[in-house]
Amino acid sequence: MKGVVFVELLSMAESAFGEDVVDNVLDKADLENGGAYTTVGNYPCEELVKIVQAFSDHSGLSPEVLQRKFGHWMMEFFAQHYGGFFEGKEGSLEMLEAVDGEIHVEVRKLYPDAELPRFDARRVNDTELELLYSSPRPLVEFCHGLIEACVDRFGESGSIDIDPTVKPGNKNSTMFNIKLNEQ
Ligand code: HEM
């Protein structure tokens, strides 16, 4: 995963728990490079999972809750640093539909080594989107948080549910049902 993801995860942890706690937690976690990451580096996703687990042990919050919070944090980061991707989008569903064919395509041009998920979107109607998320990485709740934060960003509200009845052939896929409230 891109170093920027690690740097932002630690930045969120610092703002939540303070610098000293972060140093302690990282010292105790068994990390390959001692928890030092640069935005231009590339690190194994397992390291990210270990860091999340370490903060979960420290805080008592589940890894899933922490991943989801991190999704919100990352969406804020994307909005601040890559605002262009949000321009011209009428709402969150349009934004989510553009991730696979537009946004991540640009990300891949900038960083050919990026490890990106795949999204298959099906627009049910004006207020409803089915989004099939596929990734070999265990980041479903991170994705959930990004989707929630995307809906918030566009000043919309609604429900985002994982459909447990959808069992695609590929076990690395998760179906998100996004239903916006009528505005
Ligand atoms: C609602 C919109 C978005 C969603 C749902 C989304 C989803 C995700 C997810 C779930 C990942 C983790 C990798 C995986 O699951 O396999 C990821 C990675 C990433 N995304 Fe997006 N994304 C969104 C928008 C953006 C935007 C606006 C940018 C702007 C630059 C961006 C850039 C990246 C980058 C740089 C990575 C890391 C790749 C790596 O570590 O190698 N994404 N995205």
Domain ranges of the chain: 3-61, 70-180
3-state secondary structure of 124: strand
Pocket test for ligand 1, best of 45, 70, 95, 99 (most atoms within 8 A of CB): 99
Quote the radius of gyration of the chain (alpha carbons, Å). 17
- For residue 103, which phi and psi values (nearest 5 degrees)? -70, -55
Pocket test for ligand 1, best of 2, 52, 72, 78 (most atoms within 8 A of CB): 78
Give the residue whose CA is nearest to atom 43 of ligand 1. Answer: 116
Pair of tokens at residue 61: 């919050």
CA dist list (Å): 165 to 93, 128, 136, 175: 22, 18, 20, 9
Q: How far apart are CA 124 and CA 104, in angstroms?
A: 23
Q: How far apart are CA 79 and CA 152, in angstroms?
A: 12
Q: Which residues, including other chains, have CB under 8 Å from residue 143's CB and lie 6 or more apart?
A: 71, 117, 133, 135, 174, 176
Distance linking the first and last C-alpha atoms of the chain: 37
Say yes or no: CB of residue 78 within 6 Å of ligand 1.
yes
pLDDT of residue 168: 64
Q: Which atom of ligand 1 is nearest to the CA of 85?
A: 27
In tens digits, what is the pLDDT along the chain, a chain of 183 residues?
A: 999 999 999 999 999 999 999 999 999 998 987 889 999 999 999 999 999 999 999 999 999 999 999 999 999 999 999 999 999 999 999 999 999 999 999 999 999 999 999 999 999 999 999 999 999 999 999 999 999 999 999 999 999 999 988 776 667 999 999 999 987
**Residue type (1 letter), 130:** E
Q: Which CATH number fits domain 70-180: 3.90.1520.10, 3.30.70.890, 3.30.60.50, 1.10.287.180?
A: 3.90.1520.10
